[in-house]
Every structure is written in structure tokens, then in C-alpha cells.
Amino acid sequence: MIRFDTHAISCAGGRDTNQDALRYSVNGTAALWVLADGLGGHAGGEEASRAAVDAAMQGFLSKPECSSAALKAYLEAANAAVVARQEVNAAGHAMRTTVVLLVAREDQAQWAHVGDSRLYWFHQGRLAGQTLDHSVPQAMVDAGQLTRRQIRFHEDRNRLLRSLGGREALRATIEERPHTLAPGDAFLLCSDGFWDYVTETAMELDLAKSGSAEEWMYHMELRLRAALPEASDNYSAIAVMIASA
């Protein structure tokens, strides 16, 4: 048996409001972690992110599963919630949000995302996988025009190709097969305001010297705060470490 050690942070940074939202629920052997980043260029970004997170969590609590079908259902519920908020908030008719979700059941985990909020998976202390942004710079990486490292601080970094809140069919990237978890594995879900300033190498280094999710997050946030400019974006993250029960 395994257990999930979780610690989360969310900060407005240099902004007046925090348009990030996150929630998680660990219920015995089933768990969901979800994080969203409302798009700052659209009125209602704060409302959109919270609506998406709450709807995804409600879907999970009513039917906790770890499958690609379940992830799709949680995402569709999140998207519908954002669209519903658009209909009752005239000022936020164009509200949008990113979202990233991780579900686990017993020793299996799967994840999904829309936009540029990311998930990182670490196995045996090393980065084993990560989500790929739905953004213009990532498309340029795919075309061989940029390296992945150059996405950070690229002039088009905030130009997203996908988000929640559209009336068209949902376009999400869903991990199609479950991954087997082992003690020592770890996950990090985070908004762009976090991963902009904490590199993948730093994530690994801080994980190696941490005995808990809270300690891992503490070290990463120290790095982030030391690098933040005065007018920084909101930043949010959820750290999850897998331990023996």
C-alpha cells in the first residue's frame, strides 16, 4: 500500500488578485489533485479558474475513478462550469482558464491538461515525464524552431492555443494509460508563474534533499521568491510525494 503526502501553495505574487485556483482530495486509496490558472487577459479569470476546479472536484467526489474516460468527464464538467459562469456574468463572457489534473487509485495514476499549467512526474529522483503546453512556443518547439528551454520568457509565452471556456469541442491532452506508482515517486502540478522561475533541474535537486512534500515545496518556493520580479504573476503549485503506507 502507498500513501499520498501533499502540500500546496497559491500566491498572488505582484498582482492585486490571484487568478489561480487549486483543490485536492485524498480519500483512502483514491485521490484527485487539480490546479487552474485563469487567463489574465480575460475578465473573470479568477471566477473561471475556481469554477473549473470546483466542477472537476465535484465530478471526482461523485465518481472517483482513475481512467482516461474519468479524466475526460472531469474536464468536460470543468469546461461546462466555465461556460455556465459566462452566461450569468456579462462582464466575464470571455472568461477562460487553463487546468491540469492528476488522479490516482491504489498504485495507479493518470493525468490530463488544457493550456500551459503543467504536471511533472519524478521517478527514482529524476524527471520521468511532463505535460507539453498548448501554446505558441511549444508549437515552435514541435516544429524545431525553439528548444524546450527557450519557452521560458519567450515573447509569445502567454499565447495559448487551448483553454477551458470555449463553446467548441473540448481539446485536452489526456494520458491514455495509467502509470504504476512506487514509493519515492513524486508529482508537481503548477501554474506558469511557478515553472517560469523553477527549472526542472532545480525541481530534481530540491526533491533529492526533501523528506516530505512540504519540505520540497519550501525549497522550490525559496528559489522562486529569490528570482521573482516586482510585478510577478500569480504562482501556485501542488507537490505530491508517494510513500509507503
Q: Per-10-residue mean pLDDT for the chain, 245 residues long?
A: 94 92 91 94 87 98 95 97 89 89 95 98 97 96 93 90 92 95 97 96 98 98 94 94 89
Report the amino acid identity of residue 168: E
Quick one: pLDDT at residue 230? Answer: 83
Strand partners, 178: none
Quick one: pLDDT at residue 157? Answer: 85
CA distances from 115 to 152, 198, 205 (A): 15, 19, 26
Quick one: pLDDT at residue 27? Answer: 83
Report the amino acid identity of residue 29: T
Quick one: pLDDT at residue 24? Answer: 98
Answer yes or no: are the C-beta atoms of 95 and 38 closer than 8 Å. Answer: yes
Domain 2-244: CATH superfamily is PPM-type phosphatase domain (3.60.40.10)
Residue 116 cell numbers, joined: 500551459
- With 0-12 / 13-18 / 19 or more C-beta atoms within 10 angstroms meaning exposed / middle / buried, residue 174 is middle
Closest CA to 170 of 209, 121, 113, 215: 113
Residue with cell 519524478: 122
Q: At what angle do helices 45-62 and 68-88 cross, to 10 degrees?
A: 140
Closest CA to 76 of 192, 197, 168, 198: 168
C-alpha gyration radius of the chain: 17
Strand partners, 111: 102
Report the amino acid identity of residue 209: K
Residue 49 cell numbers, joined: 479558474
Q: How far from chain centre, in Å, is Cα 201?
A: 18
